[in-house]
């Protein structure tokens, strides 16, 4: 799938290749591998656009996001992933004073979040 963003969001294109990731596992792995400066640069550029991104995605029913808008929504989800690290943890890519994150296994971690199908089971 191409990570090209829809018209009107071209200025976010430089972040799409790295941060338009479909699953929570991919996004948290990327966040842990990023530097504090990378996290801040990404947050500062994309957080101000999140509401506009969501308005564009809200034109479609949940679970039916077309391929044209999936990278855009995935980009906004990376902001959700990264924001506590910029806003609360001083740019630290890990949660400070925390359990080893890679030992936390999630039932929904490898689902494409835009499909909105977290497990009702397990």
Partner 1 sequence: MTEIGKARWATKFPELGTKPIAIEPLVSQDMFERERDEIFKKTWLKVGRVEEVAKVGDYKVKRIDVANTSIILMHGKDGRIRAFHNVCSHRANKVVDEVGEETFGNSRAAVMTCRFHGWVYDAEGDIVHIPQEEMFLSCIDKKEDGLASVHCDVWNGFIFINLAEIPKQGLKEYLKGYANHFEAFPFDDHPYCYTYVTELNCNWKIGVDAFAEAYHVQTIHAGTFPGVRSIEFNDVELFGDHRTGGIYVDSGAPPSPAAALAHKLARASLGEFADTSLLPATINPQRRENFVFELSVMFPNFLLHVTDGLWFTHQFWPISKDKTLWEGKYYVSKPSSYSMLWGLEHSQILQRNAWLEDTATMEATHAAAESGAKSKMFLQDEEVLLRHGYHVLAKYTGIPTEIE
Which residues touch 117 (CB under 8 Å, ≥6 apart)?
Answer: 63, 111
Structure tokens at 71: 């990278």
Q: How many binding residues for partner 1 (CB under 8 A)?
A: 42
Residues 1, 7, 17, 58: which binds partner 1 (CB under 8 A)?
58
The nearest distance, CB 36 to partner 1, in angstroms, is: 15
Region binding partner 1 by CB under 8 A among candidate stretches 7-15, 32-40, 45-53: 45-53
Q: Are the C-beta atoms of residues 30 and 79 closer than 8 Å to each other? A: no
Residues 60, 68, 91, 112: which binds partner 1 (CB under 8 A)?
60
CA distance 71 to 77: 10
Structure tokens at 18: 């790295």
Per-residue contact track with partner 1, 61 to 100, x per CB under 8 A? -x--x-------x--xx-xxx-xx--xxx-----xxxxx-
Q: Are the C-beta atoms of residues 104 and 52 closer than 8 Å to each other? A: no
Query: CA dist 40 to 10, 31, 44, 103, 111, Å?
Result: 20, 11, 6, 26, 26
Which residue, 10 or 101, is less far from partner 1 as judged by CB? 101
Residues that bind partner 1 (CB under 8 A): 24, 47, 50-51, 54-55, 57-58, 60, 62, 65, 73, 76-77, 79-81, 83-84, 87-89, 95-99, 101, 103-108, 113-114, 116, 118-122
């Amino acid at each position: 799938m191409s990570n090209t963003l829809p018209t009107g969001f071209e200025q976010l294109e430089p972040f799409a290749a790295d941060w338009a990731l479909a699953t929570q596992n991919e996004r948290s792995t990327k966040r842990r591998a990023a530097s504090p400066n990378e996290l801040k640069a990404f947050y500062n550029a994309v957080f101000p656009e999140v509401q506009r991104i969501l308005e564009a995605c809200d034109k479609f029913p949940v679970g039916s996001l077309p391929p044209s808008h999936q990278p855009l929504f995935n980009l906004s989800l990376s902001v959700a992933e990264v924001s506590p690290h910029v806003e609360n943890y001083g740019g630290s890519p890990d949660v400070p004073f925390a359990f080893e994150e890679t030992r936390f296994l999630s039932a929904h971690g490898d689902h494409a979040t835009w499909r909105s199908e977290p497990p009702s089971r397990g």
